[in-house]
Structure 1
Amino acid sequence: MLEMFSFEASVPLHLFEYRLKRERTEEHWHSFYEIGYCAEGSGRFRIGEAETAVGPGSVLLFPPYEPHIGEGDEDRACRWYFAYFDERLLPADERKLLRAFVRPGVWNERQLRAAAPDFPALGDWFAAMLNEYEAKRPLYGTVLRARMLELVARLHRAEESRHSREEWSGRMKALERLRPALDHVAASFREPLELADAAERAGLSASRFRHLFIEGTGKRFKEYLTFVRIQEAKRLLATGDGTVTEISLACGFQSAAPFYRSFRQLVGVHPLEYRRRHSGRE
């Protein structure tokens, strides 16, 4: 389900501690970025279609609309710090740092320190930020913005170190060229949308756009568009009263058959079963 959350107008950031339950929580996603740090305990997260084990020092970054679900090995023994934030938290000229995270990031603290020996101890880092966030002393927003900018910059540097210079440069250039197309998909996915439309927005030929899209996002264009549409369908199934056919049409599918097929493939259950589990209605 889409997890709804409203930030304070002055500081688009929410910091908190959370202990994973032993039973698997329901899959959810956000319209904002999320960074998590495991302080103690162990468990696992399912991120999209992949599952990763987590333990002390695990660091996860979820881009907007990336579905994920977590569970602890022992009830409430797996303790996390989480930061929810909107890109508006960063200065406008630094938001480009977030383009590295069009895909989820998964690290552990040892990897981060290997990439950057001066990387801060994240347990202390998050504890200090949480204290600042809860105390709300004068200029706390300025302090939190500065700390989060440094954290994002360091994660960006760590992610960059995983790739050759040529690969990283190519990926960043691809995302830069794709930005108009990605914005167009986000605004227009409910309408009929073809690769040629998105390529035109990016000022590229269809063949060049197809290549750059995979390089930048890790998905084919049709796969990405279907993913975006299914996320919206999940939100409408959980929160609205429309029929499955109405929802499929509202999300850009031209008929029910491809919607049912895509929904089962990506979510694993029938749309009505998903509604039964997540809407709170029988």
Structure 2
Amino acid sequence: MNPLRKHFDVDTSLPVELVLRSTKNTQSELPDHLHDWFEIIYVHSGSGTFFINHTFYEMQAGDLFLIPGNTIHRTLPNPEQPITSSAMFFSSQYVQSAAISKEAFSYLRCFELAKSNRHYKLELLEAEQQRLESAINEMQEELRLRQPGYRQAVLLLLQTVLLHLNRKANPGQIAKDSHSGHNSPPWMQAALNYIDSHLIEDLQLTAMARRAAVSPSYFSRTFKQMTGLSVTEFIIAKRITLAKELLLTTDHTIAEIAGQCGFESLPHFYRMFKKFAGSTPNHYKRSV
């Protein structure tokens, strides 16, 4: 199994998965994972660092992270203070609903803001923490008992959570000063930013190491330790994420998209897409 891709085995009529109060440490934490579903992560206790897309964030009790679909992320727990967190995974199509009257509202607006601003963290007040914990506990109880109407109850609870998160995020309260280079060398953030802005170019390890003023072996080793991926794996995963967006938002051919995402050949693009996305580009476009 490819550790990059998280797999969901749930009722297709209820595309939601909860993982409540899971304690993560350096031994149990999985490598980065990449999936189409959206994810909300809430920290109950402990501390550590969260790597999302291209930025490192401090984690502590009361923090909430919004992870849009197809966003690389990884938790790096503090060995002395293991993180206990809850996670909600859901399909974006599941929570969408028709607008009421003339009010334009999207339950996913907070994720769109997080992605466009490249800031994925919200810091919840005590009352907000209690409200969120109550909602996810109710969702878990509905999923456990499966009484008549439980699917609708879970949807309503999830939509309520998203409603409050949108109200929290829309005034611009997504934390823009919360990222830091905790436990990472100063050049690491610059390297991640460089990859993001030159993604479709020929990115060579030696050239990036030279920009960082470190040896290629040290660059490679540190990059793997901090992100959970080799430099090559990280670049390909980011390119596949871009390809997924283009497949769903443009009418470009597969060959055009492969070139626009920096792949050297169409066969190479197909192989990497299958490896990182779990399906062919054509199947992905038809199934989403």
Q: Does structure 1 retain, via aligned residues, the 8 Å contact 2:62–2:129? A: no
The total of aligned residue pairs comes to 192
The equivalent of 2:13 in structure 1 is: 10
Identity %: 17
Equivalent position of 1:214 in the other structure:
none
- Given candidates 85, 104, 122, the residue that maps to 1:107 is 122
Change (3 A) 1:62 1:226: farther
Report deviation, 1:52. 0.5
Letter in 1 for 2:158: M
1:184 Cα deviation after fit: 2.4
Q: Please name the residue that 2:166 is paired with.
A: 156
| C-alpha distance after superposition, 1:92-127 (max 9, x if no partner) | 3268331441316311212xx7xxx77853223322
- Corresponding residue for residue 125 of structure 1: 135
Q: Any conservation in 2 of the 1:25–1:71 contact (CA below 8 Å)?
A: no
Deviation at 1:80, TM superposition (A): 1.1
Which stretch of the first structure deviates more once superposed, 83-92 or 37-46?
Answer: 83-92
Q: 2:130 & 2:15 partners in 1: Cα distance? A: 23
Give unmatched runs, 5+ long, in structure 2.
Answer: 100-104, 174-244, 282-288
Please report how far the alpha carbon of residue 239 of structure 1 lies from its aligned counterpart in structure 2 after TM superposition: 8.3
Q: Which residue of 2 aligns with 1:63?
A: 68
For residues 202-217 of structure 1, what are the structure 2 equivalents within 5 Å?
A: none
Q: 1:154 to 1:75 in 2, by over 3 A?
A: same
Query: Residue deviations 1:189-220, cap 9 Å, x none?
Result: 733149xxxxxxxxxxxxxxxxxxxxxxxxxx
Instruction: Tell me the TM-score normalised to structure 1 length.
Output: 0.56
**Contact 1:2–1:235 under 8 Å retained in 2:** no
Superposition RMSD on alpha carbons, in Å? 3.8
5 Å-filtered alignment, 1:1-282, equals 1-17=4-20, 18-23=22-27, 25-74=30-79, 77-93=82-98, 96-102=106-112, 103=115, 105-110=120-125, 121-162=131-172, 183-185=248-250, 188=252, 190-193=254-257, 236-237=274-275
Contact 1:22 1:75 in 2 (8 A): no
What SS does structure 2 have at the residue aligned with 1:121?
helix
**TM-score in terms of structure 2 length:** 0.55
Distance 1:147 1:231 in 2: 40
Q: Secondary structure at the match of 2:43?
A: strand
What secondary structure, in the 3-state scheme, does the structure 1 residue paired with 2:34 have? coil
State the 1:234 CA deviation.
5.7
Measured at CA, do residues 235 and 134 of structure 1 come closer, stay the same or move farther in structure 2, by a change above 3 Å?
A: farther
CA distance in 2, matches of 1:7, 1:231: 30
Matched-pair contact (CA < 8 Å) for 1:15–1:133? no
Q: Which range moved further: 119-128 or 57-66?
A: 119-128
Question: Structure 1: where are the runs of 5+ without partners?
Answer: 164-179, 195-221, 241-249, 252-282
Contact 1:34 1:63 in 2 (8 A): yes
Q: Is the 8 A contact 1:46 1:68 kept in 2?
A: yes
Greater shift, 131-140 or 148-157, is seen at: 131-140
- Structure with more helix by fraction: 1
C-alpha spacing 1:85/1:239, structure 2 compared with 1 (3 Å): closer
Which amino acid in structure 2 is aligned with residue 106 of structure 1?
K
